[in-house]
Amino acid sequence: MREFIRQLWKQSKKYKISRDYMKIPSVSREELAGRINSTDHVLKVLDKFIVPLQKVLKDREYTLGFIDSDGVILKVYQCAKKFVKDFAPGKIWTERYVGTTAIGVALTTKKTSIVCLKEHDYKKLQTVFAVSKPIIIHGEFLGVLTLAIEEKGGLEYLINLMSVIVGRVEEQLILQESFCNTAKGEKSFEEVFRTFIHEIKNPLANIRAFLQLQQIKSGNRAEYDKIIQEVDRISEMVENFRYICLPKDIYLTKINLTNLIKNIYEALKYMFNLKGCQLKLYIAEECWVMGNENKLKQVFLNIIKNAYEALDEEGLVEIRVKKGEKDCQVEIYDNGEGIASEELKLIFQPFYTTKVNGYGLGLAVCQEIISYHNGKIIIDSEKNVGTTVTITLPCVGF
């Protein structure tokens, strides 16, 4: 996670953000009202459970608020003008405008993030300890609860308290949904399974936050990174299992597939550089599709990550985006070790894997997501030559 933060810091430099002055845009009043209205059920539950945290913080300078999944601030409980003046409802608090922050890291990773002192881009935030915790219901990323505070004292307790609050908020929202879906209040197998998955993921999030804090205290980043990666692996496995086993309920909207791929490329190219490998992007024409941006991002990240893991030093991954008459096509080629023909036949089967630390759900989930988008995913590979993954999606007009 600390290495990822450093990568974001480097990436944010291309935005030429002033380290001394932030100029943060806002959404319109109408858009803000619409966003608040659509998230009203979340904000009401959050208001109910945030009180204990406010009581603990009452004698300290702090900033506390809720930011939606697009980085728009919807609710400000407290704002310490001393170190941040532009934290207000409607402001777009993303890396594009403020550089690296706990909010930006949490929005990118959808995981609890802690960003401290000079890990921030903006100079006035470099005296601040900040933590952001995602709120996720049934795999839907609703936004993040964020806290920034100058004093380090009691930080571990505050993080644990935030974990408890977010857990209670998520449980309450799940309970509300259960009663809405079941007239008698009796839970179906699906609802029990959803709750079971949530009860696994919530303590994992708490464990991850605690490990991050211990990582900062000890200074032993490498060892803690290994443990955090294992926690992330378990969390990802649980989420993928949930996706395969439960009915799909994905909201589709018109998205710019070209921009989505560009953003993924920008986020990952530094990781390739660190390994001494190349990541290249070729775009023939702008493409638009009907899709769920988060789910499609999950697919492309998974495929590119697989390609990255197959590379030796000086390896190459090429991403090509093409537009046909009716379809958009994304090809991801790597010159890695390739896949044997007998393995290729089984590659989309759940729980089939050739990786030592794999669990065999990644590609199965990718196929499910692409199928839901009325698309196709095809893998061509030759052992010791390389692999090409071709994803085809129906295109729509601009």
pLDDT value at position 191? 60
Q: How does pLDDT run across 68-94, given as a tens digit for each residue?
A: 999 999 999 998 887 777 889 999 988
Confidence band for 5, pLDDT divided at 50, 70 and 90: very low
Question: Which pLDDT belongs to residue 319?
Answer: 96
Reported as a single tens digit per residue, the pLDDT across 267-278 is 888 888 888 899
Q: What does the alpha-carbon distance between residue 257 and residue 288 come to, in Å, rounded to a whole number?
A: 5
Higher-confidence residue: 244 or 145? 145
Q: What's the whole-number mean pLDDT along residues 288-314?
A: 89
In 3D space, the residue among 7, 24, 20 whose CA is nearest the CA of residue 100 turns out to be: 7
Q: Would you say 46 and 75 are in contact if contact means Cβ atoms under 8 Å apart?
A: yes
Residue 61 has pLDDT above 60, yes or no: yes
| CA dihedral of residues 63, 201, 373, 264 (deg, nearest 10) | 50
Domain spans of the chain? 1-187, 253-394
Distance, in Å, from the CA atom of 245 to the CA atom of 239, rounded to the nearest integer, reads 10
Sorting pLDDT into bands at 50, 70 and 90, what band is 184? Answer: very low
Question: Six-digit token pair at 304?
Answer: 């590119």
What strand order describes the sheet that includes 113-116?
73-78, 62-68, 140-149, 129-137, 113-116
CA max distance for the chain: 65
pLDDT at 359: 56
Q: What is the pTM of this model?
A: 0.49
Residue 151 or 16, more confident: 151
Which pLDDT band holds residue 340 (cuts at 50, 70, 90)? confident
Give pLDDT, residue 169: 85
**Dihedrals phi, psi of 329, to nearest 5 degrees:** -125, 130
Kindly state which CATH superfamily the domain 1-187 is placed in: GAF domain (3.30.450.40)
Question: How far apart are alpha carbons 111 and 368 in whole angstroms?
Answer: 23
Other beta carbons less than 10 A from residue 316's beta carbon: 16
**224-253 tens-digit pLDDT:** 787 887 778 777 777 766 666 655 567 788
Q: Is-contact 34 261, C-beta < 8 A?
A: no
Q: What CA–CA distance (Å, rounded) separates 258 from 374?
A: 18
* 75 or 201, greater pLDDT: 75
Neighbouring C-beta atoms of residue 235, cutoff 10 Å: 18
For 10-60, the pLDDT digits (tens) are 555 555 555 555 678 899 999 999 999 999 889 988 988 888 888 888 888
% of residues, the chain, pLDDT over 90:
26
Mean pLDDT for the chain? 80
Report how far residue 342's alpha carbon sits from residue 344's, in angstroms, rounded to the nearest whole number. 6
If you average pLDDT over residues 334-362, what whole number do you get?
75
**Weakest mean pLDDT among 1-5, 134-138, 239-243, 344-348:** 1-5
Residue 184, φ and ψ in degrees, nearest 5: -85, 0
Query: Could you read off the pLDDT of 355-379 as tens digits, one per residue?
Result: 655 556 678 888 888 988 999 999 9
pLDDT value of residue 328: 94
For residue 145, list its beta bridge partners: 66, 133
What is the pLDDT averaged over residues 149-167?
77
Identify the residue with better confidence: 118 or 190: 118
State the average pLDDT over residues 186-208: 65
Share of the chain above pLDDT 70, in %: 80
pLDDT grade for 186, boundaries at 50, 70 and 90: very low
The CATH class given to the 253-394 domain equals: alpha beta
